[in-house]
Amino acid sequence: MAEGDGFQQEMAAISRYYTERFLPTSPWASLLNGHPYLCARQRQRRLREALIACGVRTPEALREMSVLDVGCGSGSNLAWLVELGADPARLTGVDLVADRIEVARSRFANIRFVAGDFLASDVGGPFEMVMMFAVLSSVTNPELKRRLMEKALGLLRPGGIFFFYDVVSRRPVPGTAAYQRLTFAELEGYFAPRKVHYRRRDLLRRGVAERLLPRFGVTVAELVQATRLFNIDGTFAYVRG
């Protein structure tokens, strides 16, 4: 079997998993579940901090940036960048699950969205910023992960920002057919020789959040999250191109 055929089969399996199993039962779909909101606030906070650390300090500077979101889902990350000042005409999202892209297009008509396999898609570029959130943990084929990262990094302009989130552990953790944590050594191998700036164990465990949020609200939950005592191995990171 050709390598490309194997990758296509794996991509199809990932798409089926999200379409048939993950998304229909996902707790992220509930308006009443406060944990997704808590996670979104933290993601937005870390993205803002990364932009500022890289010298993007005004809406005007952000408006000049072209951005690619790999695994963009329904487009909320790109939409938040528009709120900060980004030009929607310079934003592109790509996602394997066509239904999510249809939702994104219906919500954010001025942003370009591409449905399909990222490796086979023409997303344009290069870009001043590339984002990738919780993509690699859904890919269990090591060569496919490497190819995805190679393409994403290859679309980043020199001096650009690559903003990343996933579940990353110090040591390998047994996974499943649909999910596999990364290790820091693996992640640093993808980014080498670039320096990786980390925010480790950055998200409160869902069970702890669901106990705190109804009684004490988001502020208390965020204070507990800031201690990192009850957090998952969720890691935000950024590198410069």
Digit-coded pLDDT (tens) for 200-232: 999 999 999 999 999 999 999 999 999 999 999
Q: List pLDDT tens digits, range 46-97.
A: 999 999 999 999 999 999 999 999 999 999 999 999 999 999 999 999 999 9
To the nearest 10 degrees (0 to 180), the angle between helices 76-84 and 34-53 is 50
Residue 213: predicted pLDDT: 93
The dihedral built from the CA positions of residue 139, 142, 147 and 152, taken in this order, carries a sign that is: positive
- The two beta strands, 127-133 and 112-115, are unpaired
- Distance, in Å, from the CA atom of 167 to the CA atom of 232, rounded to the nearest integer, reads 8
Contacts of 82 (CB under 8 A, 6+ apart): 88, 91, 108, 111
Q: pTM to 2 decimals? A: 0.89
Q: Which tokens hold the place of 20? A: 């048939």
Ranges assigned E (strand) in the chain: 67-70, 91-95, 112-115, 127-133, 156-169, 182-183, 197-199, 234-240
